[in-house]
A = this chain, B = another copy of it.
Amino acid sequence: MRENGVKKIWARGGAVLNGWLSVPSAFSAEVMAHVGWDSLTVDLQHGVQDYLSLVPTLQAISTTAVTPLVRVPANEPGIIMKCLDAGVYGVICPMVNTRQDAEQLVQWCRYPPAGTRSFGPIRAALYGGSDYAQAANDTIAVMPMIETEEAVKNVDAILSVPGIDGLYVGPVDLALSMGLRGALDPTEPAVWSAIERVLQAARTHHVYAGVHCATPENAVKMIQRGFQFVSVMNDTYFMTTGASACVRAMRQGLGTA
Report chain B residues within 8 Å CB of A230: 250
Contacting B at CB under 8 A, from A213-257, are 215-217, 219-220, 223, 230, 232-233, 235-251, 253-254, 256
Q: Which residues of A contact B (CB under 8 A)?
A: 14-15, 17, 19, 22-28, 30-32, 34-37, 45-48, 50-53, 55-56, 59-60, 62-63, 72-74, 76-79, 81-82, 85-86, 94-95, 111-113, 116, 118-123, 126-127, 133, 147-148, 170, 172-173, 176-177, 179, 182, 215-217, 219-220, 223, 230, 232-233, 235-251, 253-254, 256
A223 to B27, CA, bound (A): 32
CA distance A217 to B252 in the complex (A): 10
**Smallest CB–CB gap between A242 and chain B, Å?**
3
**Min C-beta distance of A64 to chain B, whole Å:** 9
Residues A118 and B173 in contact in the complex (CB < 8 Å), given A30-B126, A216-B246, A239-B31: yes
- On whether the beta carbons of A220 and B73 are closer than 8 Å, the reply is no
**Beta-carbon nearest neighbor of A76 in chain B:** B78
Contacting pair A35 B243 (CB below 8 A): yes
Q: A27-B236, A116-B148 are in contact. List 5 more A-B contacts (CB 8 A).
A: A19-B243, A23-B27, A45-B78, A50-B52, A112-B176
Instruction: Find chain B residues with CB under 8 A from A147 CB.
Output: 118
Are the C-beta atoms of A242 and B239 separated by less than 8 Å?
A: yes
Which B residues are CB-close (under 8 A) to A73? Answer: 78-79, 81-82
In the bound complex, CA of A229 to CA of B94 (Å): 35
| Partner of A59 from B59, B173, B254 at Cβ < 8 Å | B59
Q: How far is the CB of A65 from chain B (nearest CB, A)?
A: 11
